[in-house]
Chains A and B, each alone.
Chain A
Amino acid sequence: MESFFSRFKNPLVLIAILLAQTIALATQVRRADDPLHPDGRNIRLIRMWALGMISPFERLSTLSGHSLRDTWSNYLDLRRVREQNEDLKKQLDRLRLERAAISEDAVEAQRLRGLLDFKQHYLSQTVAAQVIGTSGSDQSRLLTLDKGYHAGLKPGMAVITPDGVVGKLRDVFADTSQLLLLSDPTSGAGVLLQSTRIRGILRGSPTGSLVIGNLTPDERIKPGEKVLTSGGDMVYPRGLTVGTIESIKLDPENQPYTLITLKPAANLNQLEDVLVVTATSDTLDPKTQDELAKDAQINAAAVNAERLPSLHEAKDAAAPDDPNAPGAAMPPPDNSRDLVPKPKPILHPDKYSSGSAPPATDLQPGGGKPVEPSVPVEKPPTDSKPDR
């Protein structure tokens, strides 16, 4: 017996190592049903230790890398800061106008939504975090963030960038957390096609692309259509941009359904700073509501200015020098006859026409012709003698 173990010591050790890991795998597969706690306590500890060993170096590398890059970009930025400043001012003005234009619609939409009793989840609180590392494997699309539960993060929280949704938190430790990207094969999200309003389930793939499966072929679905979160998964708030449809083809493994491939709105391969959505609310916060209301008032004033003609006079008078401008003719002088309305010339005059009646001085009471008296009027005596 002793000779057997000593003779096959090496393969036996290998078998023991493989067996132990196989048992570990089996226990993990059994636990994978809870999406918020995919790992057991022991597995979570192993992940925490491994990340605790690697993350300080990742944090240091990220910090030094950013310092070097910031120094260089500061130097470059100084050279063109004035030009950029002017551009940004113009952009800010344009954005203000755009915001004023849409804010009225936003307020109205919110009111209507309230009337219809929709539950819209607004992002009320986010925490900015920095990507300090990756899983290092193309089998697992996972990133390491520099914030953990000390910053208020919890597993299952949605992670976004200004461009769109990027994923959700998987494991959260004290000062680090793991972000599971949408492109990971184990990821999923409820989505909505923007123009057709068709709902679907988005998932990652082993190649790292985003796909929507299990949709029957529909001619209305076209490449280029925007895809938003539907909010049905209770992880991602509704209405956030996910990406655009890149291609549509029949799913070779799941006929007759289609396989829709998306181009993600955010660059999932080059993420640096992200926002973790730590809280949502059913209504907008009071400050944002006030801002929207103010913008709506400004917009209403602008609409009135467009509609009321009196407010156009100042605008028209502001450009009298331009002879080609509409309404740029000189106004008539105060004593001009043009100021008095003139009647149109008479084509067929009659007794009612202007000017046909005699002047009032020529008129006599009772009419124009002398009337014969009905009682004979005694004429005064003349110089002739009466007959005897």
Chain B
Amino acid sequence: MADHSYTSRRELEEYRFSPVVAFAVPLTLLLLQAYLPKIFHKTEILDLPLLAVIFFAVARRNPIAGALTGAAIGLVEDALTGLPIGINGMSKAVVGYIGSSIGVQVDVENPITRLLMIFGFSMLQSAMLLFINRMLLGYRDIHVLWLHEIIRAGINTVVAIPLFLFLDRFKLRD
């Protein structure tokens, strides 16, 4: 019975996107992430590529696709920074994987669920970046201001709600 319900839910709520949308939306969000801080410096607290990863991972509900999407977006993001390539790639791959896995099991269309999920993933990414920097790269003097990270997660959540509502229009049902 449980399997039947699981399969039915997945069948009902699994979405796909046209190749143009699948390519253009992450690219646009990456571009905005790179361009907006030039005009408004404070907008660098945003993480628009992370929102793209969460949106596509949750909508597709395919952990492998989620992990690959997260890794690809993260690698491009790393390439635009001076950071070693792979820091954001790894953290966003994990977020994409977990997002897809959660999307299978809970109702991610609910605004409250979305809100909690985005906030949680933003905090998870901060924790993963700290882990990668300190443990894998050996940057022992790196510290995370957790209050700053909570504010970042909150702002990302506020931005994500209307953004996801807009992007929902590009979903195609299988």
Please give the residue numbers on chain A whose beta carbons come within 8 Å of chain B beta carbons, in ascending order. Answer: 9-10, 13-14, 17-18, 21-22, 24-25, 28-29, 32, 38, 43, 46-47, 49-51, 53-54, 57-58, 61-62, 65, 131-140, 142-144, 170, 178, 180, 184-186, 206-207, 253, 269-270
Known contacts A14-B63, A132-B38, then 7 further A-B pairs from the complex at CB < 8 Å, ordered by chain A residue: A17-B71, A21-B71, A21-B89, A25-B84, A32-B84, A47-B80, A50-B79
B31 close to chain A: CB less than 8 A: yes
On chain A, the residues within 8 Å of B31 by CB distance are: 54, 57-58, 61
B124 close to chain A: CB less than 8 A: no
On chain B, the residues within 8 Å of A144 by CB distance are: 34, 80
A136 and B90 in contact, given A25-B137, A57-B31 (Cβ under 8 angstroms)? no
Tell whether, in the assembled complex, residue A54 and residue B80 are in contact, meaning their CB atoms are under 8 Å apart.
Answer: yes
B59 close to chain A: CB less than 8 A: no
Tell whether, in the assembled complex, residue A18 and residue B85 are in contact, meaning their CB atoms are under 8 Å apart.
Answer: no
C-alpha spacing A144/B101, complex, angstroms: 37
Tell whether, in the assembled complex, residue B82 and residue A140 are in contact, meaning their CB atoms are under 8 Å apart.
Answer: yes
C-alpha spacing A24/B33, complex, angstroms: 24
Q: Which of A32, A49, A136, A143 has the most CB of B within 10 A?
A: A136
Which partner residue on chain B sits nearest A65 by CB separation? B39
C-alpha spacing A61/B32, complex, angstroms: 10
On chain A, the residues within 8 Å of B86 by CB distance are: 21-22, 24-25, 28
Q: Which of B38, B81, B82 has the most CB of A within 10 A?
A: B82
B155 close to chain A: CB less than 8 A: no
Which partner residue on chain A sits nearest B75 by CB separation? A46
Tell whether, in the assembled complex, residue B83 and residue A140 are in contact, meaning their CB atoms are under 8 Å apart.
Answer: yes
On chain A, the residues within 8 Å of B77 by CB distance are: 136-137
On chain B, the residues within 8 Å of A21 by CB distance are: 71, 75, 85-86, 89-90, 93
B138 close to chain A: CB less than 8 A: yes
